[in-house]
Amino acid sequence: MYAQAVLTALLAWPCVGAVALLVAPERWAKHLALAASLVEFAISVPLWWVFQPAAGMQFQLDVPWIPDWGIHYSVGVDGISLFMVLLTTFLVPLSVLGSYRYITTHQRAFYALLLVLTSGMVGVFVSLDLFLFYVMWEVMLIPMYFIIGVWGGENRLYAAIKFFIYTFLGSLLMLVAILALVYLVAQRTGLYSFSYGHVIANIGRLGPLAFWLFGAFFLAFAIKVPMFPFHTWLPDAHVEAPTAGSVLLAGILLKMGTYGFLRFAVPFFPQVALHPAVRTGIIALALIGILYGGLVAMVQPDFKKLIAYSSVSHLGFVMLGIWALTLQSVQGALMVMINHGLSTGALFFLVGMLYERRHTRLIEAFGGLAKVVPLFAAILTLVSLSSIGLPATNGFVGEFLVLVGSFRTHPVAATIATTGVIVAAMYLLPALQRVIYNPLDKPENQGLADLSPRELAVLLPLVACIVWIGVYPTPFLRRMEPSAQRFIESVRPAPGATAAVAR
Amino acid sequence: MNVDLSALDLSRSGDLLVALAPELLLTLAALVVLLVVAWRHRTPQDLRRAGWVTLAGLGVAALATWFLWWNVARASGIAAMIAVDDFRFVADWLFLGTAALTVLVSFRYLEREELWAPEYYVLLLFATLGMTLMAGAEDLMVLFLGLELMSVSVYVLAGINRRSAPAAEAALKYFLLGAFASGFLLYGIALVYGATATTNFTLIGVQVATLGLQHDTMLLLGLGLLLVGFGFKVAAVPFHMWAPDVYDGSPTPVTGYMATAVKAAAFAALFRLLGEAFGAVPAWREIVWWLAVATMVVGNLIALAQRSFKRMLAYSSIAHAGYLLVAVAAGTAAGSAAFVFYLVAYTLMTVAAFALLAAKGTGGERDVAIDDLAGLAQRRPWLAFALAVCMLSLLGFPGTAGFIGKWYILVAAVAAGQGLLAAILVLASVISAGYYLPVIMAMYMKPEPGEQAHAGMQLGPLGNAVVAVSVAGLLFFGVRPNRLLEIARTSGASVRVAPAVSSSAPPAARDASGR
């Protein structure tokens, strides 16, 4: 019962919550939203234990939706999507709690949109039907567009429309590719179906067309990741978005791009994705992303923009891990996806808390904060170190696995990527020093209040996870290993299997 | 009530009357309204009475159409002048429904603008009658009659506000260019007749196939002129120049009517003509392909530059004509079904958008800039929500009928081997985000310019109902399109495509099927 209903419940419950919010009084809005998102999290927690690592797709439910077109409402998770779903349900209550003071206008609408966004995000990760996936992929655009556009900073309209149009462009081309793919599979099998399982089982060899189809998927996901050079929407969107928006944007939405590669683009078109030229090109872009993101982050005067560019760098590691295609590197990529959500989410929360106190995010406006807000300083230090990848924090586990794994197939690329870790220290440590250690020379900083219990409640779960994964990542790795293995096998079929897949 | 209508012999007057019942009832309704308003046309009450009688007439015609539809009326043998098939019934319902929505929006609009002209409703009925004839036409002459009946009525409707200079300009422009287009159409008809010695669609198709006229110069010339004439009517680029000015100057409910029903009627007729008469002629596919590309690209790009809400909608309706042309260019059963579905979705969203614009504008809607909607969400949340849904649906966003329609067109285009056309369609849609989103932005993300900025925005109960029904329809069909898809499929398939169509499929598709 739980196994069949849980994913649907996760999709439906936030929408129920959103409707309840809209009819309830404005002053209850944030509390209701918190309650709804906590319930959502509670629904999802048993997944951790019920999940069978070896069993592949689980918790499946399949109901015809538009039978004329072979469209089903079909959901399920495996070891790749499980963590994304849990990360989503984990981050949303924190985002709600983190917005308690920041959001003062139109609270009902804000929290309702946040809940709808939750549905959309979960939907992207659990969809096993290409139509459903596309709908979810687009549907979560609208809440984020409004969250940036209504509650954002000065330049929010520009950032919102840029975010929308970039994503929309990529996803519409992906739509055409989905249609063409389903049509080609239908020609071969006689069954017109958008089911993920059906498509992947019968995709076979597509010939030269595969290149274009892969290109369309690649564009959609690369914009979302974002890969260099498709990243230009990201700094604008992050800087203008309110804290909760930034946290979910970095924590979840960017992962949809890498998830898309893992689930769709690479398994559908392995012969293109692993074509030496394409593979080298994408790894090169990933490396450029790692270094370029880090170097640009280094010169940012705005703390939030610094973190935004650091995302480009971190996601470069994920891309490298996926394309290196060893078990360690793929597991490492999955770990970086989780870690980046936790660490960068925490950083965005921390910067948001600074902003709520001082209404500026310029690094130079601070200094010596460790003396006035020791708790804040301690957490910021820990989180920054985890983002750099210090051993015994989560950041180390992921990036180390990516580097070890990719060294086996791409030693040069792994070597270059390693310098990315140094670059991370070069942009985050000076910023950390200038914010919390230098002399306390600004009078307006002397009266700052330290973290309130509410803010601690937002940060401590994140800190706990950062340490947990850093010290004992085995439960995570064990759950994702079979799925990562399956991903690699699906992409690189054994010599005997090639003929079977080809026809 | 079940009657056997499955073999109507249209050469017998009794059967012909049955087959034409909706049109005859509509004529009767128009004459009744004409008589009523001839005696009573001075007070607002008279105006309203005329409106209600009109609605009743539309309802009766819709019932008659439903009766034929329900009993699966079909003509036996080759239909003489009028087609009796599901495509006609669905198209008729669409026209009647649009006309009814337009009447409901017009009640308040006419009073507010002090247009004491009850002939408005008579003209609306005659225009609708012309449309139903166009959708049912099996013969070039009937097609032309329907087209002229519709066009002449709409010319007058465009200029019904005699006090407004822009309306006069719009009416004159529309009339001159429309007359021009009719001329092209007539030349085309003459040449086609010259080549095939018949004006009946099906017989033209037979003649083309048996005499091997696929590459006959006279026939192709005639076909080209027909396409030019229809290009004017549906405002396809490069024959679109009249549309923005005419849409802009006409009274807003009339503009909504023109952008939906008039366009839909021209499309329905074009669709049937190309399928039944010229299915075996490969030439038009390429022409329509280029028309579709030009219309989508140009319509969207120019719409991007508009500041006025009404002009933006005018150009956007040009762009949507381009999307519909993609479905026509696909030329398959899926294409015809996509075509019907998109027409319904497009009509719903456009009618609602124009109704909301009509409520917003006081005096001259020409002046409603997109930025004038700033802050509407705070003052009038439901109206803003409705308009936002319309914009998202026009954009083709999932969860709305506009998305399902666009999806269907893409499915049809991809299945017909027109992948490039599909890619151009989605790129054009991305451009359209650049002008639909600013409307949402203005409403939700910009502050209200003044306290009383939206004070005059009143739809009235009837207008509210129109918008509510349209928006509910958009959302419902966006999530649960199954029934409408089925109707679209059966009705689209009921247009008989001329024989030998398979040999005219594009080379790529032929290779695939031959293998």
Relative to beta strand A58-66, strand A71-77 is antiparallel
Residues of chain B with pLDDT > 70, as a percent, come to 93
pLDDT at residue number A486: 87
pLDDT tens digits, one per residue of A44-82:
999 888 888 888 888 888 888 888 888 899 999 988 899
Q: Is residue A148 part of a domain?
A: no
Query: Which residues in chain B touch residue A145, judged by CB atoms under 8 angstroms apart?
Result: 437
- At B377, the pLDDT band (50, 70, 90 cuts) reads confident
- CB-CB: which of A138, A146, A176 is closest to B426? A176
Q: Is residue A479 part of a domain?
A: yes
Q: Is residue A245 part of a domain?
A: no
A286 close to A227: Cβ distance less than 8 angstroms: yes
pLDDT at residue number A501: 39
Q: Is residue A22 part of a domain?
A: no
pLDDT tens digits, one per residue of B80-136:
788 888 889 999 999 999 999 999 988 888 888 888 888 899 999 999 999 999 998
Dump the DSSP string for A92-110: HHHHHHHTTTT--SSHHHH
Mean pLDDT for the stretch of residues B260-269:
92
Q: Kindly report the CA angle at B342 between B416 and A68, in degrees rounded to 5?
A: 65
pLDDT tens digits, one per residue of B55-67:
999 999 999 999 8
Q: Does A164 touch chain B (CB under 8 A)?
A: yes
Which tokens in the block code for residue B489? 């499929």
The rounded mean pLDDT for chain A is: 88
- At A389, the pLDDT band (50, 70, 90 cuts) reads confident
pLDDT at residue number A108: 86
Q: Look up residue B5 and give its DSSP letter.
A: -
- At B481, the pLDDT band (50, 70, 90 cuts) reads confident
Residue B502 has pLDDT above 60, yes or no: no
pLDDT tens digits, one per residue of A132-155:
999 999 888 889 988 998 888 888
Q: Is residue A378 part of a domain?
A: yes
Neighbouring C-beta atoms of residue B462, cutoff 10 Å: 17
Cα–Cα distance, A271 to A265 (Å, whole number): 11
pLDDT at residue number B497: 65
Mean pLDDT for the stretch of residues B390-399:
91
Indicate the number of domains in chain A.
1
**Cα Rg of chain A, angstroms:** 22
- At B183, the pLDDT band (50, 70, 90 cuts) reads very high
- At A498, the pLDDT band (50, 70, 90 cuts) reads very low
> Nearest residue of B to residue A70 by CA position?
B482
pLDDT at residue number B293: 94
* Amino acid found at B99: A
Q: Is residue A2 part of a domain?
A: no
pLDDT at residue number A274: 84
Residue A413 has pLDDT above 70, yes or no: yes
Residue A500 has pLDDT above 50, yes or no: no
Q: Is residue A96 part of a domain?
A: no
pLDDT at residue number A494: 47
Sign of CA dihedral B13, B17, B19, B20: positive
- CB-CB: which of B398, B429, B434 is closest to A139? B398
pTM: 0.89
A165 close to A120: Cβ distance less than 8 angstroms: no
Q: Is residue A77 part of a domain?
A: no
The rounded mean pLDDT for chain B is: 86
Residue B513 has pLDDT above 70, yes or no: no
Query: Which residues in chain A touch residue B445, judged by CB atoms under 8 angstroms apart?
Result: 146, 149-150, 156-157, 160
Per the listing, tokens 């959502």 go with: A40
CA distance A489 to chain B (A): 31
Neighbouring C-beta atoms of residue B245, cutoff 10 Å: 17
pLDDT at residue number B1: 55
Q: At what angle do helices B21-39 and B44-70 cross, to 10 degrees?
A: 170
Q: Look up residue A64 and give its DSSP letter.
A: E
Interface touch B407/A183, C-beta < 8 Å? no
- At B468, the pLDDT band (50, 70, 90 cuts) reads very high
The contact set of B with A (CB < 8 A) is: 392, 397-399, 407, 410-411, 414-415, 419, 422-423, 426-427, 429-430, 433-434, 437-438, 441, 444-446, 481-482, 485-486, 489, 512
> Which residue range(s) make up the domain with A382?
297-503
Residue B508 has pLDDT above 60, yes or no: no
Contacts 24+ apart (CB under 8 A), A11-18: A11/A75, A11/A119, A11/A122, A11/A123, A11/A126, A12/A119, A13/A39, A13/A40, A13/A43, A14/A40, A14/A115, A14/A116, A14/A118, A14/A119, A14/A122, A15/A115, A15/A116, A15/A119, A17/A115, A18/A111, A18/A112, A18/A113, A18/A115, A18/A116
Least confident among A253-267, B75-89, B204-218, B390-404: B75-89
Mean pLDDT for the stretch of residues A90-111:
88
- At B505, the pLDDT band (50, 70, 90 cuts) reads very low
Question: Which of A105, A158, A168, A211 should we substitute to test contact with B (largest number of B Cβ atoms within 10 Å)?
Answer: A168
pLDDT at residue number B390: 93
Which tokens in the block code for residue A490? 């699906």
pLDDT at residue number A90: 93
Which tokens in the block code for residue A235? 């700094």
